[in-house]
Structure 1
Amino acid sequence: MLEEEYETRRVLPRHLRKPEPGESPFEYSLRDARPQDLPDVREIYNHYVANSTVTFDEDAMTLKEWKDKFAYLHKLGMPFIVAESSTGQILGYALVTPWKQKRAYRFTVENSIYLGAASTGKGLGPVLMQELIDRSKAAGLKEMIAVIADKGAEASIKMHENFGFTEIGRMGRVGYKFERWLGTVLMQKSLK
């Protein structure tokens, strides 16, 4: 009976397995974001601003705004990471920002993960999420909040659930973009 139990093998998630024969590998490395990455980060983010409701921003962010955000997060010691291809292309990024400005919230952050259009559906989102969680724990952060659009972001909600985030509330009709009302799903994970 014990031999039968050992014959059952765990299957790793797709993004952690070696590519199957004939499957082209998706190669990248994760590292801290650098100032020279910000034009690519801006381009990735602004694609979602212009084409989706996953962000409620309606105006494209400028490079100066990204530089200010980068400096602020760096000063606070908040994780900001990028996924980079073997050719140096930024494929996506992940970061955390303070949940609120009041000092009592200093151990609680909101996460953001955005992928370049060509990088979606290849398992990069979960890899960035795990790295962001690990780095947030290492930075001494205790709670992570996700604020996700209630329409058009089902994959994001599912990914957060897969990482142990639980829904803690919903807010309806709090955003208006592309001539329609949108709500948010609030999710939370303790970083223990």
Structure 2
Amino acid sequence: MTHAPTVTVRRATREDLPAIAEIAAHYVLHTVTTFQTEPLTLAGWEERWESLRAAGRPFLVVTVADGSGLPDDVAGFAYVGAWRERPAYAATGEDTIYLAPGSEGRGLGRALLSRLLDEAREAGVREVVAVVSDAESPASVVLHEKLGFRQVGRLERVGFKHGRWLDTVLLQRSLG
């Protein structure tokens, strides 16, 4: 008898950081989904995780358990960081969300982003901004729009990666 996989969205732990670093590195090295050009080290992810925790901002993972008794696999992560560092922006956050390659199309992104928005609201975030590369991320734009974000702008040719200039789409959702 096979069991359907169990999906869990929960707060990220230090033990999740190697999987998070691996997922993020894939996007940095092989896509233009992120404008990062060098993968963040594990120490860098530890620093980011600690800083978000200290700021009271959510940092979540989605896991999938296959029923085998083996540890759940981290299938994605998301967090809400600062939109800008100036104090006037304190109640505005920028979301980041990535799924492990091959985890797309299973509802994991929706579950992860939905919970992230709930936790961001509880943390006092009033506005969430998403900055999405439009070159390879139509699914990300669609996901954000399905969860109430609206497109509020486009920045043209603001990033250069893998030999080409890239635009970003700005989306925003009010939580207040």
Q: By the TM > 0.5 criterion, same fold? A: yes
Q: Return 5+ residue gaps in structure 2 as ranges.
A: 66-70
Structure number with greater Rg is 1
User: What is the identity percentage for the equivalent residue pairs of Structure 1 and Structure 2?
Assistant: 39
1:171 and 2:155 aligned: yes
Match of 2:9? 30
Aligned length: 170
Tell whether 2:96 aligns with 1:117: no
**Tell me, what secondary structure is at the counterpart of 2:102?**
helix
1:68-107, Cα deviation, whole Å (9 max, x unpaired): 1011101000000111222321111110100000111000
Matched, 1:46 2:16: no
Structure 1 position 45, deviation (Å): 0.4
The Cα shift of 1:151 comes to 1.0
- So what's the TM-score if we normalise by structure 2? 0.93
- Asked whether the equivalents of residues 142 and 191 of structure 1 are also in contact (C-alpha less than 8 Å), the reply is yes
CA distance in 1, matches of 2:121, 2:56: 12
Flag the structure with higher helix content: 1
Distance in 1 separating the partners of 2:125 and 2:150: 18
Deviation for aligned residue 1:161: 0.9
Superposed CA deviations along residues 138-176 of structure 1, whole A, max 9, x for unmatched, are: 111100000000211111111111111111111100000
What RMSD, in angstroms, separates the aligned Cα atoms of the two structures? 1.3
Distance, in Å, in 1 between the alignment partners of 2:88 and 2:100 is: 35
Are residue 141 (structure 1) and residue 141 (structure 2) matched? no
Q: Which has the higher contact order (CA 8 A, sep 6+)?
A: 2
Match of 1:161 in 2: 145
**Retained in 2: the 8 A contact 1:41–1:90?**
yes
For residue 180 of structure 1, what is the aligned residue in structure 2?
A: 164
Partner of 1:102: 86
Query: 1:24, 1:190 → 2: CA distance?
Result: 38
Query: Which secondary structure does the structure 1 equivalent of 2:95 belong to?
Result: strand
Distance across 2 between alignment mates of 1:96 and 1:38: 16
Deviations 1:47-66 (A, max 9, x none): 00111111001111101110
1:41 Cα offset (Å): 0.3
User: What is the deviation of 1:24?
Assistant: 7.3
User: Secondary structure of the equivalent of 1:118?
Assistant: coil
Aligned equivalents of 1:118, 1:155: Cα separation in 2: 14
Give the AA of the match of 2:79: L
Partner Cα separation in structure 1 for residue 75 and residue 169 of structure 2: 26
SS in structure 2 at match of 1:31? strand
- Does the 8 Å contact 1:26/1:122 carry over to 2? no
Q: Deviation of residue 25 (structure 1)?
A: 3.1
Aligned to 1:130: 114
TM-score (norm 1): 0.85
Please state how far the C-alpha of 1:120 moved relative to its aligned partner: 1.2
